[in-house]
Amino acid sequence: MFYIIGLGLSDEKDVTVRGLEAIKSCARVYLEAYTSILMVQKDRLEAFYGKEIILADRDTVETQSDEILRDADKEDVCLLVVGDPFGATTHTDIVLRARARKIPTRVIHNASIMNAVGASGLQLYNFGQTVSLVFFTETWKPDSFYDRIKENADLGLHTLVLLDIKVKEQSDENLARGRKIYEPPRYMSIPLAVRQLVEIETIRSAGILDPDKTLAIALSRVGGGDEHQRIVAGTLNELLNHPVEAYGEPLHSLVIVGRRLHHLEVEYAEDFAINRNTWRAVAQDVYGCSLD
């Protein structure tokens, strides 16, 4: 059997009972750790699961899956995925490759940032398309996300913005020379994400990301409990000027709040506001939300 098992969002203890039973039955256990990360290192997982874990990079999972799937028709093998296997980054490819080889497959689900974003107080029913924001360079500023945010905004829906992470990247020079030397991991911060969004707004000018009139909620290490999790709400400008340390450690996500805003959403998120007065004033005057 080939299992693909969601690990949830925080540490080794987020695995489900069903997931842990499957891991224990496996001859080989792989961990996909390039699209998302847990808040603990691999050795903590190994100690808790009682299994050695093999790190699987993008190349191994996406193009060289033969090794992962080897003998999975005769013994149990699993791929562990942070969050849910089908949350944001989908791992349908490897499941299709297993099916093509007549290997029985089973997916074991877990919490994903796609639903844990509800910690912000915003209702999942009111979310539109999720977008990903990548690190801009001097010459490369992909902006297709802006169209998706605009489509959501036109319907009054919230947008979950996932922020780029760069793990196991090679510099152009090392790549050209075939040297397997990797850059330190990089995780996009909330202020950088807001700066990039506002930069694209100034170019595209549809008025959907007004720095003083658009509300947003930043979420860090969701699922990590009081020790790790941070939620900060405010206008884009407030989030931009808030100290970067106040957002805590990565991973980070950002929600652009849509106009179809319920007063309970405003009241719940008010607890996270940088400035409660601004939060309420923009919700009432700009979003038209009636509050007591």
Ligand X SMILES: C[S@@+](CC[C@H](N)C(=O)[O-])C[C@H]1O[C@@H](n2cnc3c(N)ncnc32)[C@H](O)[C@@H]1O
Site string for ligand X, 127-166 (x = CB under 6 A): -----------------------------------xx-x-
What does the alpha-carbon distance between residue 79 and residue 31 come to, in Å, rounded to a whole number? 6
Query: Has 84 been labeled as part of a binding site?
Result: yes
Query: Has 11 been labeled as part of a binding site?
Result: no
Which of residues 78, 252, 256, 272 is near ligand X by CB under 6 A?
252
Q: Which is nearer to ligand X, 9 or 282 (CB)?
A: 9
Nearest distance from C-beta of residue 73 to ligand X, angstroms = 26
CA nearest 286: which of 230, 236, 224, 227? 236
- Residue identified by tokens 């020379």 is 177
Query: Has 112 been labeled as part of a binding site?
Result: yes
Nearest distance from C-beta of residue 100 to ligand X, angstroms = 23
CA nearest 134: which of 207, 197, 92? 197
Q: Which two tokens stand for residue 132?
A: 């990903």
Q: Which two tokens stand for residue 291?
A: 């509050």
| Binding to ligand X in span 167-226, by CB under 6 A | 219-223
Which of residues 26, 53, 79, 113 is near ligand X by CB under 6 A?
113
Torsion of CA 259, 262, 268, 271, to 10 degrees: 40
Q: Which is nearer to ligand X, 2 or 247 (CB)?
A: 247
CA nearest 7: which of 118, 109, 114? 109
CA nearest 210: which of 172, 177, 238, 176? 238
Query: Has 252 been labeled as part of a binding site?
Result: yes
| Binding to ligand X in span 92-111, by CB under 6 A | none
Which residue has the CB atom at the shortest distance from ligand X? 83
Query: Has 113 been labeled as part of a binding site?
Result: yes
- Residue 92 has a CB neighbour count (10 Å cut-off) of 12
Which amino acid appears at position 179 of this protein?
A: R
Site string for ligand X, 73-92 (x = CB under 6 A): --------xxxx--xxx---
- Strand-strand pairing, 159-163 and 54-56: unpaired
What does the alpha-carbon distance between residue 153 and residue 148 come to, in Å, rounded to a whole number? 9
Site membership for ligand X, residue 112 (CB under 6 A): yes
Q: List residues binding ligand X (CB under 6 A).
A: 9, 35-36, 81-84, 87-89, 112-114, 162-163, 165, 219-223, 251-253
Query: Which residues does the annotation place in the binding site?
Result: 9, 84, 87, 112-113, 163, 222, 252
